[in-house]
Amino acid sequence: MTIFSTLLRVAAAAMLLVGGNAQARSDTVATPALWRVSDADTTIYLFGTVHVMKPDVVWFDGKVRRAFDASDELVLEIIEPDDPRALGTTMAGMALAKDGVKLSDRLSPPARTAYQAAMEANGLPWQSFELFNPWMPGMALSVAPLARAGFRTDLGAEKILRAAATDAGKSVDALETIEQQIGFFAGLPMDQQISFLNATVDGLPDLDKSFDSLLRHWKAGEPEQLAREMNESLEATPELARVLLTNRNATWAQWIKTRLDRPGTVFVAVGAGHLAGKGSVQEQLGALDIKVSRVKD
């Protein structure tokens, strides 16, 4: 498992914007982890999300629901546009190759053969991606198998939380813009983009199994186990880890520190990988002498 495939299993699903906000219920009850940062007049809850879900998981309940209901404001990583075509236009503009080199020409012959076969197997015409940089089809390939396996973006935690916030009249804000988030991938050096695409292709046979394992740890409230599976190769790619994870966590920790200066109760929901393991938001807050406590049932 590589950093590229593990990160995208959680993060790339946010790039697919399929409408709908209903949460199906079943006998499968999840108890995901929740944390709290507070001072005399401010409480900030930290909740790690999964961006896609199957319709057999009940998670918006118990301590998570109580914390959300007690909050005045919801803060997400990004605020998705209501029209998914707007995101598609933004992504396409940022993904177009500026040097005129066709995507297939950037790959070695064996990698090109494997890439084109993977795209066709997932119903993605590789010819339509020839003018794009490698991160774009890497994103598409990291999402398509999950959709086929029954994971749905309309059941993702952000969708559910944002709909609930809107219904309750809570304000909704974001830590990043869509352009910023796409820019983290678009700004990767070309060799890392190619490695990302190749690693995604290589990891496709195990994608469903790996994501199921991540989701199992999330549902059980096991952030450290989740972190081990997601971030096992971060140390081998320190520069990429800084761009996609550690630097963002540090920025968000600073935001939380500043937000503590204003009274109120805030529910912050970001990808679960940001709240687990080395360099997590909690670790960054600790470096700022801010105490984070796990919320019990």
Q: What is the pLDDT of residues 113-133, one digit of tens each?
A: 999 999 999 999 999 999 999
User: Tell me, what's the pLDDT at 110?
Assistant: 98
Rounded CA separation 41/2 (Å): 42
Q: Where are the alpha helices (DSSP H) in the chain?
A: 3-11, 62-70, 84-95, 109-121, 135-148, 157-168, 178-186, 190-203, 207-219, 223-231, 238-241, 247-259, 281-287
User: Tell me, what's the pLDDT at 260?
Assistant: 98
Instruction: Give the pair of three-digit tokens for residue 22.
Output: 């209903």
**Alpha carbon 235 to chain centroid, angstroms:** 20
User: Tell me, what's the pLDDT at 199?
Assistant: 85
Distances from the Cα of 47 to the Cα of 2, 65, 82, 238, 273, angstroms: 25, 11, 23, 25, 11
Q: For residues 3 and 233, is the Cβ–Cβ distance under 8 A?
A: yes
User: Tell me, what's the pLDDT at 42?
Assistant: 98
Return the bridge partners of 75, or none: 173, 268
Rounded CA separation 76/181 (Å): 12
Grouping H, G, I as helix, E, B as strand and the rest as coil, residue 289 is coil
Say which amino acid occupies 46: L
How many independent structural domains does the chain possess?
A: 1
E-assigned strand segments in 57-216: 73-76, 171-174
pTM: 0.86
Q: For residues 200 and 8, is the Cβ–Cβ distance under 8 A?
A: yes
Rounded CA separation 90/76 (Å): 19
User: Tell me, what's the pLDDT at 9?
Assistant: 39
The sign of the torsion formed by the CA atoms of 166, 168, 73, 65 equals: negative
Domain that holds residue 169: 3-294
6-20 in b/e burial notation, b at 16+ Cβ within 10 A?
Answer: bbbbbbbbbbbbeee
Q: Is 232 buried (19+), middle (13-18) or exposed (0-12) by CB count in 10 A?
A: middle
User: Tell me, what's the pLDDT at 233?
Assistant: 52
Instruction: Give the pair of three-digit tokens for residue 135.
Output: 């991160």
**Within the chain, which residues score under 70 in pLDDT?**
1-27, 84, 231-240
Rounded CA separation 188/191 (Å): 8
